[in-house]
Chains A and B, each alone.
Chain A
Amino acid sequence: MTKYRVKGKGRVNHAKPVSFTFDGDRFEGVEGDTVASALLANGVHLMGRSFKYHRPRGVVTAGSEEPNALIGTTRGKGQFEPNTRATMQEIYPGLKTESQNKWPSLAFDLGAINDRLYMLFSAGFYYKTFMWPRSFWDSVYEPFIRKAAGLGKAPSEVDPDSYASRYLHCDVLVVGSGPSGIAAALSAGRAGSKVVLLDEHAEMGGTLLSEPSITIDGKEAWDWLEAALAELDNLPNVTRMTRTTAMGYYHQNMIGLVQKLTDHLADAPTAAPRERMWRVRAQEVVLAQGAIERPMVFHGNDTPGIMMAGAAQTFLNRFGVLVGENPVVLTSHDSAWYSAFDMADAGANVVAIVDTRPEVPAALVQQAMKRGIDTLVGHTATGAKGRLRVKALRVNPVRHGKVGPAQMLNCDAVLVCGGWTPSLHLFSHTKGSLHWDPEAKVYLPGHKTENVHIAGAGRGLWGIAAALEDGAKAGTDAVKALGRMTGTATYEVSNDRAGTGITQKELPTDRSAGKAKAFVDFQNDVTAKDIRLAVREGMKSIEHVKRYTTNGMATDQGKLSNMNGLTIASDALGKEAPQVGLTTFRPPYTPTTFGAFAGYHKGKHFEVTRRTPIDSWAEEHGAAFEPVALWRRAWYFPQAGEDMHKAVARECKATRESVGIFDASTLGKIEVSGPDATEFMNRMYTNPWTKLGVGRARYGLLLGEDGFIRDDGVIGRMRDDLFHVTTTTGGAARVLNMMEDYLQTEWPDLKVWLTSTTEEWATIALNGPNARKLLAPFVEGADISAEAMQHMSVVECTVGGFPARLFRISFTGELGFEINVPARHGKALWEKLWAAGQQYDICPYGTETMHVLRAEKGFIIVGQDTDGTVTPLDAGIGWAIGKKKPDFVGKRSLERPDIVAPGRKQLVGLLTDDPKTVLTEGAQIVDDPNQPKPMKMIGHVTSSYWSEALGRSIAMAVVEGGFDRMDQTLYLPGESGKPITAKVTSTMFYDPAGDRLKVE
């Protein structure tokens, strides 16, 4: 048995030893221990180094509010987690843990030099220390800050664990399973409500686990607890969840829960999720989260061995661990007296109880005397001796505000209680208001915004009897709010430990307060002096004090420090606490893994992949793919030994020389039908549609109401009252949404129906001089000869035996057809065309070749050559505007002053002086390369490719006043060497006359 384990005490299994490692050393605990309790059983208090000063730190709490004892845990490959609270991590055989923020070792840490340089790190040091000289920034300050920043080390490998996610609906959700939470769950459960009771610890009971000497309804506390939990388990309408944290409280009573499933297991079941995120929608919520004990602020209050009195009581009663053999108790609240009594009764030699209050209840003093404990009432603590472990506490009497002579109390632990702060973090998430209780000096719940009930210590109530009564009432109130009637249970409690206390600023001292290292925020190393300095330097609100000092900004969100910081700040400002304010708590309540948030949405499940009906053919034929919106599209089809550049050059050449085949199925397709379809199209698109005959097609341009290009695509008129609209691949949903918006809300009188048909059709594009020769034998019911079927037309027929909408259009400049067949026939038709196309050396091409071929013709890609600030005139496609139409979406904006002003960026061609140089897309353009930096950028490259057909590079760019700069030389400064020079040209690089469309 380890030295500090007390036989027969606690709820751990003394008969089951469990060994684990801490910083490589083996330690023995027992089943039921946390890392903290097991280390304490071995006499280890030193568990970490502080963030800024690297001061040695011991564990100070027994719960999730722990600021100091943060450790790294390793469960296996890729399963390293930093900043785990040693007070929450249960031990299991083989667990590996390590301390943080130390080098080379926890006991001897070179970073502790910061502690000697504390003048450099005072409040606001971020804004002061690293200011000058300026040249120090790159070489000294930034590397230093980067090295020092961050708590613990980030995991470097992919997390192999899985995380689950579920929804849950219940009548009453009870957060916290102390006496008030259990009483609430019993009330609601007995009334038949669907109840969920949860607790972040491995075991339910809360305070009851640390108070075994109390009796409830004639039973010892733990027997009562066992019976109560058994009753809850027997109610089919009640669910209990342990190791579960309510991490956020959102609108309309939605609460996020994170349930830890495997972190406490030596052998987790294969494929079991590590954590599960629950999204709970509760009709009523009961918050029974208790209160958090506050430290006292005095010089050296962070020395290892100094911890919260309530934590010491928990370590003793729940884990059977004595945190010291000769403890001193330092308190301003009755509760710590009981901790002292429990310690004494368990065999500790309690050196003294030091109480800062001038008077304490006589009954407490009597009980102390009975146990032979010295009491020093009306005293202050002014220092602690010891570096890696406290050796003595320096205390002085305080009489009429004067600090008297000091005495040293030798000890190996100091148990501190500076009062209790109601835990209202979740309530704060709901934006419920808090009101200041000037007597108790605490914030209590005020106005509520959700269907929530707060019970027990969260309302400032103290003692088990009060907690049970209040919890029972909260449970009953929740049931009544659900419209059911129920009675309220009552509980008989004896040996209760009700009590009161006071809240204080930093303790009075006989030494220089300016030299005191009296810590308020342990995790961020903020001292009382820092907070006073912040106030002196002009910070008047607690929000400013917080950000200037970083008080409460660490991962514990100031659970221990906020109230002490506020009390000191309000003292420095000479204002009451409510006038100084209170910082807002935000989710998550405790640090939460990214995995829990991501849940199933990772890897292949991160987002859906849309595939065309022809996708499998492309895969079989070795296509490289690229993502386009949610689609994966064939990018190019490399042959043996080809890189993308070579493959694209070959695909371009083959298409221009004979025939290429392209899967265009991802194009968005919308059917616009109804008696008012033409009118609707006239109002939506810039182009005129009235005179477009049935069987004809037209390039359609869609603007936003602001006049900027939103989308484009070829639109075919199938019937008088039916248009086949195509959109860009990425724009399909957006365009349909925009059409629906206008149709439903602006023009509800129009008789028009909109149907998304993107996935109804497979679309195969054939381009090249032999396209018609290849296609014609497959076509029935239509004449596709040059005379019968002109460029920009559409016909319904069959192709390869499948019903088809056949367009003659071209996005390449070659003779082109786009064949739409029902999606289920897409691959079959593709294979027929592929087989027949062998005689023409048919070439499949992907999106990269499509991009090159269209760029050679100067066709724009919306979203690549336009960016939401480009008008049709800017893009050089003013011809697409139906000038005679009275109105269309965006028309009025084309007359806006800024749109007609000179100097707008316009889309032009760019030809580099060196034909082999292919510009980088996005490259910035200047007109004078010799101007001083920063240069004035007049535009940027939007598209740039190697053109196999032209044997040189081509590019498109938006350039200020570009249309007036034809033949002008512009410059593209690069990272090194001379700027690249290029001439402004038309964007029509290839076959400007369009002769290649005219194939007989």
Chain B
Amino acid sequence: MLLIHCPYCDDTLPELEFAYAGEAHIVRPEDPSKLSDEEWRDFLFIRTNVKGVHAERWRHINGCGRFFNALRDTVSDRFLTTYKAGEARPDMTQLEAAE
């Protein structure tokens, strides 16, 4: 079981308290009616499905209830960092330098 840091509670807690919520930084278009079928399809269905560092959403569902973002390596299943919803995706090079 993974340990996950909730950026709102500022606490590292067991995976049981959290729920995965899909890829992060996919913003719902301001006015969907202006999108072409292809653009709307991409928004709905097309995901990066990366092998490596993946920005994704989690919810501290059995805790504070907040949605937040995380960078997780899909190969090692390791969380590199978590950050609050609305914040920009952290720069990986800076993260690596900090390690």
Contacts and interface: CB of A to CB of B under 8 A. Distances in A.
Interface of A: 250-252, 254, 279, 281, 431, 449, 705-706, 737, 740-741, 744-746, 748, 886-887, 891-893, 895-897
A740 B77 CA distance: 27
A737 B33 contact: no
Interface residues of B, number: 26
Interface string B4-40: 0000000000000001010000011001110101001
Candidate in A279, A745, A896 with the most chain B CB atoms within 10 angstroms: A745
A886 B33 contact: yes
B57 interface: yes
A893 B76 contact: no
A737 B1 contact: no
B44 A706 contact: yes
Contacts of B32: 887, 891-892
Contacts of A892: 32-33, 35, 40
Contact of B37 (A251, A449, A705, A896): A896
Given A251-B2, A279-B1, A892-B40, 7 more contacts: A449-B76, A706-B44, A741-B21, A745-B67, A745-B86, A892-B32, A897-B37
A279 B1 CA distance: 9
A520 B1 CA distance: 36
Most buried by A among B1, B21, B31, B35: B1
B3 interface: yes
Contacts of B21: 741
Contacts of A893: 40, 44
Nearest to A754: B65
A790 to B, nearest CB: 35
A737 B65 CA distance: 9
B51 interface: no
B1 A251 contact: yes
A205 to B, nearest CB: 32
B62 to A, nearest CB: 11
B80 interface: no
Contacts of A250: 1
Nearest to B66: A744
B89 interface: no
Interface string B50-65: 0000000101010001
Contacts of B77: 251
B6 to A, nearest CB: 14
Contact of A252 (B3, B33, B37, B86): B3
A741 B85 CA distance: 11
B44 A887 contact: no
Interface in B63-85: 65-67, 76-78, 85
Contacts of B66: 744
19 contacts: A250-B1, A281-B3, A431-B76, A449-B76, A737-B19, A740-B65, A741-B21, A741-B59, A741-B67, A744-B85, A745-B57, A745-B67, A748-B86, A887-B32, A887-B33, A892-B33, A893-B40, A893-B44, A895-B37
B12 to A, nearest CB: 9
Contacts of B85: 744-745, 748
Q: Which 7 A-B pairs have the closest CB atoms?
A: A892-B32, A744-B67, A746-B28, A745-B85, A252-B3, A745-B67, A251-B2
A893 B28 CA distance: 13
A737 B76 CA distance: 28
B39 to A, nearest CB: 10
Contacts of A740: 59, 65, 67
Contacts of B19: 737
A887 B31 contact: yes
A168 to B, nearest CB: 13
A879 B76 CA distance: 49
Given A744-B85, A892-B33, A252 B2 contact: yes
Contacts of A895: 37
A279 B14 CA distance: 12
A431 B77 CA distance: 11
Contacts of B41: 896
Nearest to A890: B32
A905 B27 CA distance: 31
A431 B78 CA distance: 12
Nearest to B29: A892
A932 B8 CA distance: 62
B59 A737 contact: yes
A897 B37 CA distance: 8
Nearest to A431: B76
A922 B1 CA distance: 39
Nearest to B35: A892
A463 B78 CA distance: 37
Nearest to A736: B65
Contacts of B57: 745
A740 B32 CA distance: 20
Contacts of B28: 705, 746
Q: Which among A252, A746, A886 has the highest number of chain B CB atoms within 10 Å? A: A252
Contacts of B65: 740
A748 B85 CA distance: 10
A745 B32 CA distance: 17
Nearest to A449: B76
A974 B38 CA distance: 42
